[in-house]
Amino acid sequence: MMLEHLPQPPAPPANPGLRWPRFTRSTLLQKRFNAVIPGGSHTYAKGDDQFPEGMAPYLVRGQGTHVWDVDGNQFVEFGAGLRSVTLGHAYAPVVQAAQRQLELGANFGRPALLELETAEEFLKFTGAGDMVKFAKNGSDVTSAAIKLARAYTGRDLVAVCQDHPFFSVDDWFMATTPVHAGIPAAVQKLSLGFRYNDLGSLEILLAQHPGQVACAIMEVEKDQPPLPGYLAGVQALCRREGVVLIFDEIITGFRWHNRGAQHCHGIRPDLSTFGKAMGNGFSLAALTGKRELMERGGLEHPHERVFLLSTTYGAETHALAVARAVMRVYQQEPVVERLYALGERLATGFNQAIAHQGLQAHLQLLGRPCCLTYATCDAAGQPSQALRALFLQETMRRGLICPSFITNYSMTNAIIDQTVDRLHEVVQIYRRALDEGVEKYLAGRPLKVVYRLYN
């Protein structure tokens, strides 16, 4: 169904220079996408059900802060490639590094010198470990960390933080979600949950399964900061019980700080995983950690061998060249500082708009300024997928793609200020929908949560 055939909510008293985008070609392409790609997307978070009906653009290019779709619509893109594009789309030094390396070959039958150079630079840059192995996806390296912890401890159980939404596509994590079809019941029993900022929940879990838990895996920080002493308490508890502590820095690494969120909080775990921003959108991830664990995947130890991250494409040379270019930019320029400053500017303006409409209990910004998300709640204060759809509908109408509010280094104060102006209009519509009923303003169905049993 084309957008123009859906009921159109009343237009706000809007900027007269804005023109509502049309999604005619994107709508026509939707069936073709779903006919050949299960779900119509290679990433569930990018799926049709995560965007308003009739407003799911298919993109053709990006430059800096902006993206363009098949209908010629231009958007400021705050999704940032699912938080992977920190410097900006098609960032020149990154693209040039990839191009230069591709002319020298992308993959060989023996390690390239570039693998050593990138590994040494990564370890020095992050300070997160003594050894490192590269792969292509965050799921690869988190699952490798789990395997390594199990081999090192001789234990099977995994403690997973329930308040952090995603760690891996593999069975050990998906077993903890409602989407566990195809995962044997015996495997499901091996993953146990604990709560963030609740040290007692982890302590009880370990007490209930003495000597059986191989590792605890968690993000250092998500939408809420750790309570004073919490992370140190987790580390002390893991050390006492012989549990390997794994920090997932796929999102926070290269965004919270050059050395990751673990550096911000002064806690170095046994193993860490990095990804996303280290390739500025190129596919690259890393597992790093203490030598005594990491060397179990090597050739110079007397223990049973761990087949750890043996991937054909894990060390593609153009991706490694990109990572070196990214680290160079971070070392020479104030990337992280700018991400924070832009996010703070946006948060200040957005929160003013929210407060002006009295929506503090119904529309909330969450997280650090460098990585902002938001919550949409109904009149009773409960999470609302319908209001989230409305928020996305109204922001996309105003040239913004913002499933979250992730800043990148290419953004300017002017872009942030223009975004805030448009958010003031969106918040007015949100207020009316809350008072008069969202169905009056939402053109189409609500969004759906990714983790659900049935479509």
Three-class secondary structure assignment of 89-131? ECCHHHHHHHHHHHCCCCCCCCCCHHHHHHHHHHHHHHCCCCE
Edge-first strand order for the sheet with 66-69 is 59-63, 66-69, 74-77, 400-401
Q: What is the overall mean pLDDT for the chain?
A: 94
- pLDDT tens for 9-56 read 334 434 444 578 999 999 999 999 999 999 999 999 999 999 999 999
Backbone angles phi, psi at 404, to 5 degrees: -150, 180
Backbone angles phi, psi at 191, to 5 degrees: -110, 125
Give which of 13, 106, 30 is closest to 315, Cα–Cα: 106
Q: Look at residue 18 in the predicted model and tell me its pLDDT.
A: 59
Instruction: Give the mean pLDDT of 389-409.
Output: 97
Distance CA 372, CA 334 (A): 19
Written as six digits, the tokens of 378 are: 């109904």
> Residues 316, 244, 143, 266: what is their CA dihedral angle, to the nearest 10 degrees?
-60
Domains and CATH numbers, the chain: 15-89+334-440 (3.90.1150.10), 107-315 (3.40.640.10)
- pLDDT tens for 145-178 read 999 999 999 999 999 999 999 999 999 999 999 9
With 0-12 / 13-18 / 19 or more C-beta atoms within 10 angstroms meaning exposed / middle / buried, residue 240 is: exposed
Q: Look at residue 271 in the predicted model and tell me its pLDDT.
A: 98
pTM: 0.94
CA gyration radius, the chain: 23
Coil/strand/helix, residue 294:
helix
Please say if the pLDDT value at position 392 is more than 50: yes
Distance CA 132, CA 303 (A): 19
Which residues fall within 8 angstroms of residue 168, CB to CB, at 6 or more apart?
A: 138, 139, 142, 143, 146, 174
Give which of 253, 258, 317 is closest to 286, Cα–Cα: 253
- pLDDT tens for 331-378 read 999 999 999 999 999 999 999 999 999 999 999 999 999 999 999 999
| Percent residues over pLDDT 90 in the chain | 95
Distance CA 353, CA 119 (A): 45
Give which of 34, 246, 261, 294 is closest to 138, Cα–Cα: 246
Q: Look at residue 1 in the predicted model and tell me its pLDDT.
A: 29
Backbone angles phi, psi at 68, to 5 degrees: -125, 140
Instruction: Give the mean pLDDT of 312-320.
Output: 96
The packing angle between helices 413-436 and 335-356, to 10°, is 30
What share of residues in the chain are helix, strand, coil (percent, to 5)? 45, 15, 40
| Percent residues over pLDDT 70 in the chain | 96
Q: Look at residue 14 in the predicted model and tell me its pLDDT.
A: 44
Half-sphere exposure of 416 (CA within 13 A, CB side): 23
Owner of token pair 């630079």? 121
Owner of token pair 């912890």? 149
- pLDDT tens for 113-133 read 999 999 999 999 999 999 999
CA-CA distances (angstroms) from residue 411 to 57, 65, 280, 432? Answer: 21, 6, 15, 31
- pLDDT tens for 433-455 read 999 999 999 999 999 999 999 99
Please say if the pLDDT value at position 396 is more than 60: yes
Please say if the pLDDT value at position 4 is more than 50: no
Distance CA 150, CA 271 (A): 12
Instruction: Give the mean pLDDT of 213-234.
Output: 97
Distance CA 120, CA 273 (A): 16
Q: Look at residue 174 in the predicted model and tell me its pLDDT.
A: 96
Q: Look at residue 20 in the predicted model and tell me its pLDDT.
A: 85
Q: What is the DSSP string of 58-94?
A: PEEEEEBTEEEETT--EEEE-SHHHHT-SS-BT-HHH
- pLDDT tens for 203-212 read 999 999 999 9
Distance CA 101, CA 105 (A): 7
Please say if the pLDDT value at position 7 is more than 80: no
Give which of 435, 429, 343 is closest to 389, Cα–Cα: 429
Instruction: Give the mean pLDDT of 274-278.
Output: 97
Kind plus residue range of the DSSP H or E element containing 157: strand 157-161
